[in-house]
């Protein structure tokens, strides 16, 4: 069993990005006057979603490339049993 750290990282950043972007969409525009009218919550939320989605995509790509060939097969015989050690 192997845990790819990109999966929980991707989920965390994606969820936080969706929350932040959602807040940016529903918040009052008047609060962004101090930052030149730029909706920083929306833009940084989208950046977080993009980063999280990239992490999830990379984890998925690694899992597909790893495939079943790298997984141990329980039906195959023990390789050490076929060749006993010589003394």
Dump pLDDT digits (tens) for 12-42.
999 999 999 999 999 998 988 888 889 999 9
Helix (H) / strand (E) containing 25: helix 6-26
Confidence (pLDDT) at 58: 94
User: CA 76 from chain center: how many Å?
Assistant: 33
Residue 79 has pLDDT above 70, yes or no: no
Dihedral angle sign, alpha carbons of residues 65, 5, 73, 87: positive
Percent of the chain with pLDDT strictly greater than 70: 75
Whole-angstrom Cα distance, residue 38 to residue 78?
63
Confidence (pLDDT) at 31: 87
- Report yes or no on whether pTM surpasses 0.75: no
């Amino acid at each position: 069993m192997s845990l790819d750290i990109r999966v929980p990282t991707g989920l965390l950043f994606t969820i936080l990005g969706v929350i932040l972007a959602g807040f940016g969409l529903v918040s009052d525009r008047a609060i962004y006057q101090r930052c030149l009218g730029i909706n920083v919550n929306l833009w940084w939320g989208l950046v977080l979603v993009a980063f999280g989605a990239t992490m999830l995509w990379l984890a998925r790509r690694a899992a597909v490339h790893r495939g079943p060939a790298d997984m141990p097969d329980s039906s195959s015989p023990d390789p050490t049993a076929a060749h006993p050690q010589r003394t």
